[in-house]
Amino acid sequence: MASSVILAGLGLAAVGYLGRLAIQTGKLVQQNSSKMPKFNFNTYYKGGFEPKMSKREASLILGVSASAARGKVRDAHRKIMLLNHPDRGGSPYLATKINEAKDYLESQGKKL
């Protein structure tokens, strides 16, 4: 009984050693880490929404320029709302902000 426990321990040690050796030589793990993609999360916008809608924020939400024509604003609004509508699983808060951005840019267009 004692000899079988010793043999099992030696077997596990041998498997562990051979596994470590295989990993170090690169047979199981690819050593070339330059092929791994590197992500830079510093380039993303870190803030949320502003307390009051601005022209800059409205244009960022809709993905149009701040001086875009009314038709372009409506097309961008329609495209984004199709993806984010609450009836299709989107967020009601995001839908509200998208609508607010459209209304803001349309009202700015009337003032000009």
- Which H, E and C letters describe the chain, residue by residue? CHHHHHHHHHHHHHHHHHHHHHHHHCCCCCCCHHHCCCCCHHHCCCCCCCCCCCHHHHHHHHCCCCCCCHHHHHHHHHHHHHHHCHHHCCCHHHHHHHHHHHHHHHHHHHHC
The two structure tokens encoding residue 56: 């800059």
The two structure tokens encoding residue 90: 């989107």
Band (pLDDT 50/70/90 cuts) for residue 35 is low
- Is-above-0.75 flag for pTM? no
Position with higher pLDDT, 29 vs 51 = 51
Asked if residue 111 has pLDDT above 90, the reply is no
Q: What is the dihedral of CA 60, 82, 105, 92, to 10 degrees?
A: -80
Band (pLDDT 50/70/90 cuts) for residue 112 is very low
Tens of pLDDT, residue by residue over 36-77, are: 556 555 555 566 788 888 998 999 899 998 888 999 999 999
- 30-40 average pLDDT score: 54
Asked if residue 21 has pLDDT above 70, the reply is yes
Q: Residue 19: what pLDDT?
A: 79
Q: How many C-beta atoms surround the C-beta of residue 84 within 10 A?
A: 17
